[in-house]
Structure 1
Amino acid sequence: MYLQARESVVLNFNPFMAFNPDPKPEYNDQLIRATNMTVSALRFLKTLRAGFLEPEVFHLNPSKSDTQAFKRFIRFVPSSLSWFGAYMVNAYPLDMSQYFRLFNSTRLPKLNKDVLFTDESERHLLVLRNGNFYTFDVIDRDGNIVTPSEIHAHLKYILSDNSPVPAFPLACLTTENRDTWALLRQELLDNGNKEALEKVDSAVFCLCLDDFPIKDLIHLSHTMLHGDGINRWYDKSFNLILAKGGTAAIHFEHSWGDGVAVLRFQNEVFKDSTQSPAIAPQSQPAAVDSSTAVRKLNFKLNSALKEGIAKAKEKFDATVKTLTLEALQFEKGGKELLKKQELSPDAIAQLAFQMAFLRQYGQTVATYESCSTAAFKHGRTETIRPASIYTKKCSEALVQKATNHSAAELQQMIAECSKYHSQLTKEAAMGQGFDRHLYGLRCLAESRGAPLPGFYKDQAYALINHNILSTSTLSSPAVNMGGFAPVVPDGFGVAYRVHDNWIGCNVSAYPAKNVQEFLQCVHKSLEDIFTVLEGQLVSK
């Protein structure tokens, strides 16, 4: 689904997740934090490759299975039987087959269908600053992590390099239509850039150092979701971005893996870099010759490549100008209050989006919420369809006919929405959704070259796959906020989180939709829901 798509990966597919600041303010320095996060990422890589990374487990009864005693016991059970031991206490190991693509991996553009490339033998880091490319080894010949003070020294050297932004910044090509980029990449190879491109593609990961501080949440979203197209390699499995002032985020390419794998990595990097930092603010960089250890990559560009880069940049700039991003914090309640009422926090957030859209546009539309299917081998995602007859009935009652109903009747409708949403979520997670099933059948039908069954040409099928509300939530102590662009030109991209006592949304849209108005409607909808839950009547 991802590799055959020909649209640019930026905005169409790649999301971002921003880190929370380091709890110790003095560690929120670009150089200090970049060094610490790089070392923590490498510790994660070493743990993963050595087979010591604790597996992802879904605990249905954590008091029995998520304990040190159970972990000690299961270690002594032969691996052929350990799944049964876990099953007995309702603990389900999740698929982790995506994880190896986190490192040394890149999506390579090819005509009609891209390919994923991974080379685990390489030991260098790719650093981008001002559109310039630098590499240096972060793992030595024996497979050990290079000392943190050396990494510190090399990053300090890169930050002190005054090279201007190249007249034709190569990274812009990764923002292009995939077929256009495939042809230009071939031109790059033919023009003598094979070795330099291999260095980019095989690097452990891409660290992007931005030369400006983050001003506010909106600036953060724009910077981490798309940036200026010059200082990111959007095809890398992930870019670790650090702005001046130490604001950090992960921007990731989506074809190799999903948010669950990236979030686990992000949690571990945040925890390790804040609790066991490799260097401190007073640490001195190693006395090494960075000018020989750090290699600056130079690319040979002919007129066709220069023209391709200029066109890509122009197109990219024009596209990002049309994107609006806005954030909302609703502070009158959250998870704690909803759990007391035995309501699903996710269901309530989704109901608020349905109500908001109805309030703003007077209708119900196709809505997508992603759900991990990592309970299955090689599981990716399934779609939860939050727009249901229950949310429609409840939205209409709360938005259009609130005065016709008692608080108890409205509470009952909200409870029905919650119950049904929880059922849909469970079904999607356990492989009982319909979206991926129908997509798989469609791929099979297309591969046989016969005409598509009429079902796929039905207007209803087209309508349900034009997801005007595309939503996703990820909860983590490491993450400040996340975001992505709408999946259709007339849609909203809704990233949200239900915290203990507040609810946060980060919403994107193109000119066809009004983000500010939508968020005002979300706020009013949440207000109405919480008012009803308190047993009061809704004001107009």
Structure 2
Amino acid sequence: MAMRLKSGFLKPIHYAKVLRRYKTEDKGKQFMKSFQDQLLKPHVLHSDPHMVDSFMFTTVTGLLSAEKSVKGAAMFKAFPVDMSQYRNLFNFSRIPKLCIDRLYQDERAKHVLVLRKGHLYVFDVLDNDGNIIPRGEIFNCIRHILSLERDPCVPGLGALTTLDRNTWAVLRKRIRETSPANAESLQAIDSAIMALCLDDCCESDIGSLLYSILCGNGVNRWFDKSFNLVVNESGEAGINYEPSWGDGIALIRYINEIYRDSTKNPLVFPETEACGDAVAKVKRLEFCFAADIFDTIREKKCQYEHHIKGVEVNTLSYKELGKKYCQSNNLNTDAMVQLAIQLAYYKLKDMFVTAYEPCSTGLFKHGRTEAIRPTTMETKEFCRSVTAACPPSKSELRDLLNKCSTAHEKLMKEAAMGQGFDQHLFALRAIAEKKLSPSELPEIFLDPGYEIINHNILSTCHLASPSIQAGTFGPRGKDGLGIGYRLLNDSVNIFITNYGEYYCGSEVIECINSALNDIYCIIHET
């Protein structure tokens, strides 16, 4: 998934580009240290976010033991969220193995990984006591890396992280066993606190920037890290992450914290002096490759470049609908956007397909996500009615709209409270596959309906963070759509990713705009 961070994050005009790039990395390390030292405020859900910052709430819960503070928070109708995933943000990688990845973490590591023009560099950002080294030294290391030229004879090893996992597993094993230096370099990558990608591109419009953060150029990402913090020449910042280690709830908290600290409490300024010996501190990771590995890297980079040429990213900002307008009409805003997506696809393809929206189950210990299934009998009836040759009256359509909103709200609550069915069936199937042969699986897992519901054509995600300006992700398959959206007070912003061979992105946007217009007109006229 790719997310563009809010513009104010890195773009005071007087900042040099190197300062913009340093600023994000430094705040990220502060977040990590706060979590490791157990100083990070608990993540608490409440309908009124200001409540959890009130003197009364913090005083009462602060006087209670850790075990009793959960019950104390519940008195205020506030509910702590499981934060066990936060640890996996840092020093974390997934290592490819045949048939299954291995998740790896080494919290002893003190260095960060920096990717620049396909080269990989590391330098320590923590001292021997685990404290962040002087900011001027980090600043100087990044400035030094930016000054280095690319060696055309060195292939971009990051291209191999774009491969299917089994192919990458075989190649990685060969590279690791070729020399001790290779094994050491791979270990440095895997254990690095985080990956910072310094891109050469200068995109600033949202669509192009999302495409760049999501796809990259094939060599300046290490997709096996828990996330890649991407900063380009214009100072625009974004995050590319893969979810095997955890979910968006942890990453969004990280983004919110570094955005707030970077804008309100900056620790580096134009007059900040660079210090330390960057040449001695920065190490470029070296690899010894056989000739065929060189050729494979170049070949896979070309294949990846060809593949991403088919990816389209389009955006839409719809000004008529927003949270205020929907709430004033007793409608759930998320339900209205999901309904618009359903209606748009029906207009585009004249069919109903499987849709997926993630919902956090962080209220439970070690909770991950549950699926909300927005395609319902209520949305089906609405879509058919509003597009009929002789549609019902506006008041009848409004009744159908209300039913869609109520049904979606019910699904959201059930998913958040662990009452969904997707993860339950997934776990049962995983257990069955370990114990039984494919022909012996329970009948439900062999049913065509089960296969259909797990082939998600419409993969959607609500980007619920004030620090994220935009975000999207690749479709689940070539026949799918990846749809991220932001629900603002006075507008809805939608970001769509698709493969050009299956959809025309501008047509998809046009259909969603038309669907939102239909919904708005029904609400406005009733």
Letter in 1 for 2:507: E
User: 2:117 aligned with 1:130, yes or no?
Assistant: yes
- Whether contact under 8 Å (1:347, 1:417) holds in the other structure is yes
User: 2:217 aligned with 1:228, yes or no?
Assistant: yes
Instruction: Tell me what 1:248 maps to.
Output: 237
1:131–1:362 CA distance, 2 compared to 1 (3 A): same
- Whether contact under 8 Å (2:15, 2:269) holds in the other structure is no
Ranges in structure 1 where 5+ consecutive residues have no aligned partner: 1-14
1:424–1:66 CA distance, 2 compared to 1 (3 A): farther
In 2: Cα distance, 1:524 partner to 1:80 partner: 51
In 2: Cα distance, 1:311 partner to 1:206 partner: 24
Deviation at 1:26, TM superposition (A): 2.0
Letter in 1 for 2:117: N
In 1: Cα distance, 2:15 partner to 2:99 partner: 43
- Whether contact under 8 Å (1:28, 1:247) holds in the other structure is no
Letter in 2 for 1:435: D
In 1: Cα distance, 2:119 partner to 2:206 partner: 27
Match of 2:364 among 351, 370, 376: 376
Match of 2:165 among 153, 178, 182: 178
- Whether contact under 8 Å (2:484, 2:496) holds in the other structure is yes
Deviation at 1:206, TM superposition (A): 0.6
In 2: Cα distance, 1:386 partner to 1:212 partner: 37
Aligned-partner SS, 2:13: helix
Instruction: Tell me what 1:360 maps to.
Output: 348
User: 2:188 aligned with 1:199, yes or no?
Assistant: yes
- Whether contact under 8 Å (1:117, 1:201) holds in the other structure is yes
Ranges in structure 2 where 5+ consecutive residues have no aligned partner: none
Aligned-partner SS, 2:84: coil
In 1: Cα distance, 2:51 partner to 2:348 partner: 47
Task: Out of 84-93 and 194-203, give the one that drifted further.
Answer: 84-93
Aligned-partner SS, 2:340: helix
In 2: Cα distance, 1:156 partner to 1:309 partner: 28
- Whether contact under 8 Å (1:21, 1:246) holds in the other structure is no
- Whether contact under 8 Å (2:44, 2:52) holds in the other structure is no
Deviation at 1:302, TM superposition (A): 0.7
- Whether contact under 8 Å (2:118, 2:155) holds in the other structure is no
User: 2:441 aligned with 1:452, yes or no?
Assistant: yes
Deviation at 1:165, TM superposition (A): 4.7
Match of 2:318 among 326, 330, 354: 330
In 2: Cα distance, 1:499 partner to 1:389 partner: 28
Instruction: Tell me what 2:17 maps to.
Output: 30
Deviation at 1:332, TM superposition (A): 1.9
Deviation at 1:27, TM superposition (A): 5.7
Letter in 2 for 1:18: R
- Whether contact under 8 Å (2:354, 2:458) holds in the other structure is yes
Instruction: Tell me what 2:283 maps to.
Output: 295
Instruction: Tell me what 1:104 maps to.
Output: 91
Instruction: Tell me what 1:429 maps to.
Output: 416
Instruction: Tell me what 2:55 maps to.
Output: 68
Letter in 2 for 1:378: H
Identity, % of aligned positions = 38
Match of 1:394 among 373, 379, 382: 382
User: 2:406 aligned with 1:419, yes or no?
Assistant: yes
Instruction: Tell me what 1:118 maps to.
Output: 105
CA displacement 1:322-380 (0-9 Å, x = unmatched): 21111111122311111111111100000000110111111111111111111111111
What's the TM-score once normalised by structure 1's chain length?
0.93
In 2: Cα distance, 1:181 partner to 1:211 partner: 26
Task: Out of 434-443 and 67-76, give the one that drifted further.
Answer: 67-76
What's the TM-score once normalised by structure 2's chain length?
0.96
Letter in 2 for 1:516: S
User: 2:510 aligned with 1:520, yes or no?
Assistant: yes
Instruction: Tell me what 2:134 maps to.
Output: 147
In 2: Cα distance, 1:488 partner to 1:194 partner: 34
CA displacement 1:436-492 (0-9 Å, x = unmatched): 111111111111124111211111111111111111112211101011011022111
Count of matched residue positions in the alignment of Structure 1 and Structure 2? 520
In 2: Cα distance, 1:262 partner to 1:29 partner: 27
In 1: Cα distance, 2:130 partner to 2:92 partner: 18
In 1: Cα distance, 2:277 partner to 2:331 partner: 60
Letter in 1 for 2:520: F
Deviation at 1:79, TM superposition (A): 1.9
Letter in 1 for 2:316: L
Deviation at 1:253, TM superposition (A): 1.9
Instruction: Tell me what 2:40 maps to.
Output: 53
Letter in 1 for 2:7: P
In 2: Cα distance, 1:305 partner to 1:63 partner: 55
In 1: Cα distance, 2:14 partner to 2:158 partner: 30
In 2: Cα distance, 1:237 partner to 1:49 partner: 17
Letter in 2 for 1:234: F
Q: CA-atom RMSD, angstroms? A: 1.6
CA displacement 1:172-204 (0-9 Å, x = unmatched): 111111111111111111111011111111111
Letter in 1 for 2:441: L
1:469-480 matched pairs, under 5 angstroms: 469-480=458-469
In 2: Cα distance, 1:265 partner to 1:399 partner: 43
Match of 1:443 among 430, 440, 458: 430
- Whether contact under 8 Å (1:370, 1:381) holds in the other structure is yes
Instruction: Tell me what 1:405 maps to.
Output: 392
User: 2:489 aligned with 1:500, yes or no?
Assistant: yes
Aligned-partner SS, 1:26: coil
In 1: Cα distance, 2:330 partner to 2:352 partner: 26
- Whether contact under 8 Å (2:91, 2:109) holds in the other structure is yes
Instruction: Tell me what 1:188 maps to.
Output: 175
CA displacement 1:99-155 (0-9 Å, x = unmatched): 111111111111111111111111111111001111111111121111111111111
Letter in 2 for 1:442: R
Instruction: Tell me what 2:146 maps to.
Output: 159
In 2: Cα distance, 1:266 partner to 1:61 partner: 20
In 1: Cα distance, 2:14 partner to 2:445 partner: 54
Instruction: Tell me what 1:8 maps to.
Output: none
Letter in 2 for 1:524: S
